[in-house]
Structure 1
Amino acid sequence: MRNFLSGGFKDNTSLEKGVLTGILRVSKEFIFSGMNNLGVFTILSAEFNDKFGLTGEEVQKLLIDYNLDNKFDDVRAWYNGYNFEGVTIYNPWSIINYAASLKKVLKPYWANSSDNKLIEDSLTHNGKELKNELLALLNGENIVKTLKENITFEDLEKHEDMLWSLLLFSGYLTASFSHKNNREINFYNLSAPNLEVRTLYYDLLMRWFDKRMERDKQELMLEALEKGNIEDFEFYFSEFVLNSFSYFDTGGEHAEKVYKSFVLGLFVLLADKYELENEREAGAGRCDLILIPKDKNKLGIIIEFKKVDARKKEKMPQAVKAAFKQIEEKQYDVILKSRGIEKIKKLAIVFQGKKVWVREGQINSV
Structure 2
Amino acid sequence: MNNLKVFSITDTQSDDKFGFTHSEIGAIAEKFQCTDKLYLIREWYDGYRFGNADVYCPWDVINYIYLLRSEPDALPKPFWINTSGNDIIRNFVQMAKAGTRKELERLIDGETIPKKINQELTYQDLYTSIDNLWSILFTTGYLTQRGSEDGETYNLAIPNLEIRKIFIDQILAWFQQEARKDTPTLDAFCEAFANGDAQAVENQFNAYLSRTISIRDTGVHKSKKENFYHGILLGLLSHQEDWYIRSNVESGDGYSDILVEIEERGIGIVIEVKYPDSGKKPANSEKISTNNSAPPNKILEKGCREALQQIDTKGYEDKLRQDGLETVLKYGIACNRKKCRVMLKIS
Q: In the superposition, relative to structure 1, how do residues 200 and 317 fare at CA in structure 2: closer, same or farther (>3 Å)?
A: closer
Q: In the superposition, relative to structure 1, how do residues 242 and 318 fare at CA in structure 2: closer, same or farther (>3 Å)?
A: closer
Equivalent position amino acid for 2:299 in 1: M
Equivalent position amino acid for 1:248 in 2: L
Equivalent position amino acid for 1:156 in 2: L
Q: 2:20 aligns with which of 43, 50, 54?
A: 54
Q: Residue in 2 aligned with 1:127?
A: 97
Q: Could you tell me whether the CA contact under 8 Å between 2:22 and 2:55 is conserved in 1?
A: yes
Q: Residue in 2 aligned with 1:112?
A: 82
Q: Residue in 2 aligned with 1:80?
A: 46
Deviation at 1:168, TM superposition (A): 1.0
Residue 354 (1) aligns with residue 340 (2):
yes
The CA distance in 2 between the partners of 1:58 and 1:208, in whole Å, is: 38
Q: 2:115 aligns with which of 131, 142, 145?
A: 145
Deviation at 1:79, TM superposition (A): 0.5
Q: Residue in 2 aligned with 1:249?
A: 210
Q: In the superposition, relative to structure 1, how do residues 318 and 144 fare at CA in structure 2: closer, same or farther (>3 Å)?
A: same
Deviation at 1:112, TM superposition (A): 2.2
Q: In the superposition, relative to structure 1, how do residues 314 and 135 fare at CA in structure 2: closer, same or farther (>3 Å)?
A: closer
The CA distance in 1 between the partners of 2:297 and 2:208, in whole Å, is: 25
Equivalent position amino acid for 2:97 in 1: G
Q: In the superposition, relative to structure 1, how do residues 314 and 204 fare at CA in structure 2: closer, same or farther (>3 Å)?
A: closer
Q: 2:147 aligns with which of 155, 171, 177?
A: 177
> Which has the greater radius of gyration?
2
Q: Could you tell me whether the CA contact under 8 Å between 2:145 and 2:156 is conserved in 1?
A: yes
Q: Could you tell me whether the CA contact under 8 Å between 1:138 and 1:265 is conserved in 2?
A: no
Q: Residue in 2 aligned with 1:167?
A: 137
Q: Residue in 2 aligned with 1:338?
A: none
Q: In the superposition, relative to structure 1, how do residues 204 and 156 fare at CA in structure 2: closer, same or farther (>3 Å)?
A: same
Deviation at 1:121, TM superposition (A): 1.8
Deviation at 1:246, TM superposition (A): 3.9
Equivalent position amino acid for 2:173 in 1: M
Deviation at 1:38, TM superposition (A): 3.2
The CA distance in 1 between the partners of 2:302 and 2:14, in whole Å, is: 53
Q: Residue in 2 aligned with 1:286?
A: none
The CA distance in 1 between the partners of 2:295 and 2:206, in whole Å, is: 24
The CA distance in 1 between the partners of 2:206 and 2:162, in whole Å, is: 24
Question: Secondary structure of 2:105's match?
Answer: helix
Deviations 1:19-55 (A, max 9, x none): xxxxxxxxxxxxxxxx3x4322111110100001111
Deviation at 1:63, TM superposition (A): 1.5
Matched residues, percent identical? 30
The CA distance in 1 between the partners of 2:104 and 2:11, in whole Å, is: 26
Q: Could you tell me whether the CA contact under 8 Å between 1:85 and 1:176 is conserved in 2?
A: no
Over the aligned positions, Cα root-mean-square deviation in angstroms equals 3.7
Query: Runs of 5+ in structure 2 lacking a partner?
Result: 181-201, 225-274, 279-292, 304-333
Residue 205 (1) aligns with residue 191 (2):
no
Q: Larger deviation: 198-207 or 187-196?
A: 198-207
The CA distance in 1 between the partners of 2:136 and 2:107, in whole Å, is: 16
The CA distance in 2 between the partners of 1:312 and 1:242, in whole Å, is: 12
The CA distance in 1 between the partners of 2:90 and 2:276, in whole Å, is: 32
Q: Residue in 1 aligned with 2:29?
A: 63
Equivalent position amino acid for 1:66 in 2: F
Deviations 1:206-264 (A, max 9, x none): 232246xxxxxxxxxxxxxxxxxxxxxxxxxxxxx9997643339xxxx9xx65x2546
Query: Which structure has greater helix proportion?
Result: 2
Structure 2 length-normalised TM:
0.54
Question: Secondary structure of 1:46's match?
Answer: coil
Residue 315 (1) aligns with residue 281 (2):
no
Structure 1 length-normalised TM:
0.51
Query: Runs of 5+ in structure 1 lacking a partner?
Result: 1-8, 10-34, 212-240, 271-302, 321-347, 358-366
Q: Could you tell me whether the CA contact under 8 Å between 2:16 and 2:55 is conserved in 1?
A: yes
Question: Secondary structure of 2:54's match?
Answer: strand
Count of aligned positions: 220
Deviation at 1:266, TM superposition (A): 8.2
Deviations 1:74-96 (A, max 9, x none): 11110110011221110010100
